[in-house]
Structures are given as structure tokens and as C-alpha cells.
Amino acid sequence: MSKRMALSAVLLSLCLAATTSRIVHAQQYILEGPYLTAQYRVTAPTCADAQAAYRALARPEANAFCGGSWLVAGFAIPPCEFYPSIDPANPYVIDGPAEFYCRVPIQ
């Protein structure tokens, strides 16, 4: 075996060892819910701005209810609606409660 082939074999084995996945014991969860947040109403100049403002208000409530942000699943906000006659500067409105689920570890 030449030095080049031996070096190639060593490099290949090192690459395989580095990329081989290790067995991870993942925690399993079930979803409980759906739950609803309090009703929030936001208006903004764009739908994206309204969605961001709504999430900033409602998501902390869901995080606190479930025990942390990583335990909140399926966080859904009400639809963005367009009402230019109410406020031309902020025509996009999101109004209502958000729906969410909590991940609960299986014992």
C-alpha cells in the first residue's frame, strides 16, 4: 500500500467518524390544547407590521402559560384585515385571541 493510499484511508476514516451521528435520546411530547390568549387588537401600516405587533403582545402570554417559549406549539394568530376607511395611516387590523398548544413531556 502506498503512502498516498494509506493517507487517503486515514482521512476517509476520520471523515466518517466525524460525520457519524450519535444516538440521541430525545424527549417525547404530547400536545395539549388548543388554548386561547386574551383578545388583542393591533393596527399597522402593513400586514407584516400588524402581525409582528400582535405576536409581540400575545406570544409572551402563551410562553408563560406553557412554561417557556420552547413548549409553545402551533401558535396561530387571527387573520390580517384591511380597513382603510377606519384609519388610512394604519389600515391593517388584527383583532381577536391567538390559538396555541402546549408541549407536555411524556413521563
What is the per-residue pLDDT across 73-90, written as a single tens digit (0 to 9) for each?
999 999 999 999 989 999
Q: What is the pLDDT of residues 5-59, one digit of tens each?
A: 665 665 556 555 555 555 555 778 899 999 999 999 999 999 999 999 999 999 9
CA dist 103 → 23, 50, 63, 78, 107 (Å): 23, 27, 11, 21, 12
pLDDT at residue 96 tops 60: yes
Helix (H) or strand (E) holding 36: strand 29-44
Closest CA to 78 of 32, 35, 39, 33: 39
Regarding pTM above 0.75, the answer is: no
Residue 92 is placed in which grid cell?
A: 391593517
pLDDT given for residue 23 in this prediction: 54
